[in-house]
Amino acid sequence: MKHLFTCLGLLLLVSSCGVLGITGKTDAKNKSKSLSQNSSKVYDKLIGEKAVTQNGLFDVHKVGGKYYFEIPDSLLNREMLVVTRFIKTPSGARNYGGEKISENTITFEKGPTNNIFLRIATLVSTANEDDAISKAVNNSNITPILEAFDIKAKNEDENASVIDVTDFINGENPLLALGDEQKSDYKLRSLEKDKSYIKEILSFPMNTEIKTVKTYKANVGTNKRKELPAAILAGVVTLEINNSFILLPKEPMQKRLYDARVGYFASSYLEYGDDQQKVDRNTYIHRWRLEPRPEDSLKWKRGELVVPKKPIVYYIDPATPKKWRPYLIQGINDWRVAFEQAGFKDAIIGVEWPENDPSMSLEDSRFSVLRYFASPFKNAYGPNIVDPRSGEILESHIGWYHNLMSLLHNWYMVQAGAVDERAQKMKFDTRLMGELIRFVASHEVGHTLGLRHNMGASYATPVENLRDAEWLKKHGHTSSIMDYARFNYVAQPEDSIPTKDLMPRIGDYDKWAIQWGYSRFPEEMDLSEEKEMLSQMVVDSVANNPRLWFGGEGRDFDPRSQTEDLGNDAMQASMYGILNLQRIAPFLKKWTKQNNSDDYTNLDQLYKALVDQYKDYIFHVTRNIGGIYVTPKTMGEEGEVYRPVDRMKQKQALVFLNDYIFKEPEWLLRNDILNAIQSPRSKEAVTKTMESVMMNLLGGSRLSRMTFIAERYENENPYTPEAYMDDLAQTVWGDMNVFYQTTAYRRKLQKAYVSNLIALYKPDEAVGLVGGILAKLSESYTINTDVRSLALDNLLTLQGKIKRTLPVMTDRLTIAHLNYLKREIATVVGDTKDVDPLFIPFRRDVSIKESSGE
């Protein structure tokens, strides 16, 4: 009965409330209608007949001098990418139109007091929303509110809010303008608002594009050479900037998990789950979304090639000289053959920009563009813009610098001039330069497809095959265009290699890497299953074809993975390369002459390029000493990840260095060249190379590495530090006897040897520049190791040898040289009877060039 009475009571209450409710609903409806009418009046008054409206992602209204965004509720809390780029830059800024300034993910959301918040989103960690730990993740990942906009009006028909964005766009903020670091680089201060304005806003279905002119007050110092010309002339700097608001897909593309054995760029975030016992890092590659068209689904399942629903299209900047456009387009289209291995035909297309089309803008985020820069810099680069949630590549703006052609010219002359007559002049014909441009375009496009450098690709080619015309016709001289393999410098004149086979092209690795990254699997397959399948694909493929190996980007101590090298044996390849340089050097003066009125600028540049090429060969060999092979593997594979370079190969490297750098390379020190381009007071580049090699050979990093290799592999006859240092000493000092007579070059070599031994033994006595910072050399590597003991032992041994040999010497300069070194050693090791009280202890002041060795 209690239950019955309760129900009856509720029934009576509901009935009573029902009468009130009818009245209330009527009032609410009338009130809502009234509010709606008021909103419509406010909206109509704000966005009146004088408003210029563009419909798109945001409806953009220009009313007088103000801009309004109309944001529909359907876009609230939707993630968008904001990409900010330069349109125009001041002279001397070293940035160019089309280059990216910043990239951020944002969301708009309703605020609590009739306003709209703009948040900067940061994807650091995530969790499945069904897991309890997701609450903890949410509690520790609140995103910052960059801006709050008052809602100026409501469009009730479209469920949209209107906000005034004029001051936000015109103002100074890290989303749409220069950041603090960039302003610091340009030496800029505050934004000059009265000299800044919105130039244009265009809105499209998936993106809204904003163009602004921004003027900054400049800091002008006393060193005018480091200031922007505009800053010196006017005290202000003006830029044109484009901001792209891009709506990200509601459903992100399915990720493809990263594998260190395949060279893709990747993003990552931390992933939490209730069933974990440790936090996982979710790492996924960058790639375009390629899908078959619905009508081709059956063909796809049958394994037939299909055209993708949305091909990858690259436009050529109309600022590009017309003669080079076909070669750039060819470089883009070269990747079609790789995508065919992944199941797609005509997947990538290079086309010229349609000029005089007002609906298109070079900065528009819908278009990928190869931007051409009028710049003295010698560079090109291939970035990509990705959806941070999935790794989907959305667009790319390739940067191409006009003066890159001078770099290509110099590379080709010194690497191929001995075998290609077309390279034996200062101005290449259009076809040859076009072929060089095509190769670089292919390389940079590879980066925009998600591919990293593969510096180990060239190692897959045996050196002797680089001289085999038939083999090169089939395979090319490197397995990947993503290597820095440049041109076939190993080929000799007698090999008669066709010139087209001197250049890199899309190779076996490139095709396979695209297949690995872009092949599609059944939609029902989850990520873990796909990862296992892709992992086994790596194991099976590389085991059957070593040319598919990804050798990394040359950042470790693996001599297989180096920039600018060729072949599987650095000593043999470098020997062939030097033979060709020896052929080129006598003709360099002739090849660099264009007119009788020319000065020797061209000769100077090409001689430096030739010496740099020689240095590359020397350091390719140097890296074998103390080298470690690094081969990433999974636990399902056989073999070790880390293996030392074979002892005999390291000894062969030392013999090579003795033959080609410790002994003066007289063929390179040609007076007919040096007397035209260098003062007798200048320090020859060859001597600097020799000194740099010695610094690397006796560097603390290398010797400490050899120490722990010897300890770990003591049962495998490793090249121990003591054996290596004995061999090096014999190489530098083995010929010292009663008839000993040194050359100037040999004396420099021996001084470099002694100074570096002292640096090992007493690093506090050897101060130099490391990464631009004054520091003690080698100390961090050799403290409490046997390396210092060995350095002292070698110094004492050399000291004794000098003392025994000096009394029978006859050459005056050699005697003076050895006395000097004896005194240097005595100062450090404490042989006081040979030390002058006024003698200043040795201190070395040098700069370490990281790219030349360790």
Res 770: pLDDT: 42
Q: Comparing 260-264, 288-292, 829-833, which segment has the lowest mean pLDDT?
A: 829-833
Rounded Cα–Cα distance for residues 299 and 312 (Å): 21
Helix axes 786-805, 744-761, angle to 10 degrees: 140
Cα dihedral value 658, 660, 663, 666, nearest 10: 180
Percent of the chain whose pLDDT exceeds 70: 87
Residue range 505-554, pLDDT digits in tens: 999 999 999 999 999 888 778 888 999 999 999 999 999 999 999 999 98
Rounded Cα–Cα distance for residues 689 and 620 (Å): 13
Residue range 284-318, pLDDT digits in tens: 999 999 999 999 989 988 889 999 999 999 999 99
- Ramachandran region of residue 77, left (φ > 0), alpha (ψ -120 to 50) or beta? left
Asked if 663 and 609 count as a contact pair (C-beta separation under 8 A), the reply is: no
Res 170: pLDDT: 93
Rounded Cα–Cα distance for residues 730 and 749 (Å): 13
Which position has the token pair 């050798």? 551
* Nearest partner of 326 among 355, 354, 350, 362, judged by Cα: 350
Res 776: pLDDT: 45
Q: Which residue has the higher pLDDT, 169 or 233?
A: 169
Where do the H-state alpha helices sit in 698-844? 700-712, 721-733, 744-761, 779-782, 786-805, 812-829
- How confident is the model over 789-815, as a mean pLDDT? 92
Q: Comparing 432-436, 633-637, 729-733, 763-767, which segment has the lowest mean pLDDT?
A: 763-767
Q: Which two tokens stand for residue 843?
A: 């201190």
Residue range 684-711, pLDDT digits in tens: 889 999 999 999 999 988 999 999 999 9
Which amino acid is present at 848?
I
Cα dihedral value 99, 104, 105, 106, nearest 10: -110
Place 34 in a pLDDT band, splitting at 50, 70 and 90: low
Rounded Cα–Cα distance for residues 151 and 164 (Å): 8
Q: Which residue has the higher pLDDT, 844 or 382?
A: 382
**Residues making up the chain, counted from first to last:** 854
pTM: 0.87
Rounded Cα–Cα distance for residues 445 and 327 (Å): 13
Rounded Cα–Cα distance for residues 706 and 726 (Å): 14
Res 182: pLDDT: 86
Res 772: pLDDT: 41
- How confident is the model over 494-498, as a mean pLDDT? 97
State the greatest distance between any 2 C-alpha atoms of the chain, in Å, as a whole number.
130
Asked if 644 and 711 count as a contact pair (C-beta separation under 8 A), the reply is: no
Strand ranges, E, within 348-496 = 348-352, 368-373, 380-381, 385-386, 393-395, 397-401
| Separation in Å, CA 158 to CA 11, 55, 68, 164 | 40, 12, 15, 18
The residues with which 207 forms a beta bridge, in sequence order, are: 246
Place 360 in a pLDDT band, splitting at 50, 70 and 90: confident
Percent of the chain whose pLDDT exceeds 90: 69
